[in-house]
Amino acid sequence: MKLSTKGRYGLMAMYNLKENMGKGPIALKDIAKDENLSESYLEQLFTLLRKADLVKSIRGAGGGYVLARDPQNIAIGEIINALEGDISLSCCDLGKNVACGKQADCATRDILSKLQGKIEGVMESMTLADM
């Protein structure tokens, strides 16, 4: 399993906002420069982060982005899910509607379910403040 650039760059950008808290809105061009990322790609990511209520945009001169909540109240899992969607280790959705019909005989179901639970637990227990 590998986190895509969306998730990695989004975490980097959110970390940048956390580090600059209290300094006013941060422009995407400044985040892009600080983190050596594409500004146009960040625009796409910040659209997703804004829709998930993780960042707020401030318009006008001196505008940019700020965190929507205190970093202690933003779980890493929220950021990843906003950018990547729900992360699933299995082709079935582990307990909901199993498409393959092999739920009872699936050799990987139990281990993938345990791994899924551990990953979700870690992502929800760690916050932006922990970075």
Question: In this model, does residue 48 exceed pLDDT 70?
Answer: yes
Which one is predicted more confidently, 76 or 88? 76
Question: In this model, does residue 61 exceed pLDDT 80?
Answer: yes
pLDDT for residue 116: 84
pTM equals: 0.85
Domains by residue range for the chain, with CATH: 5-130 (1.10.10.10)
- Which segments within the chain are labelled E, that is strand? 55-58, 64-67
pLDDT digits (tens, 9 = 90+) for 85-116: 877 776 665 455 556 666 667 778 788 888 88
- Please tell me the distance from the alpha carbon of residue 109 to that of residue 102, in angstroms, as a whole number: 9
28 neighbors 43 (Cβ within 8 angstroms): yes
- Please tell me the distance from the alpha carbon of residue 56 to that of residue 2, in angstroms, as a whole number: 28
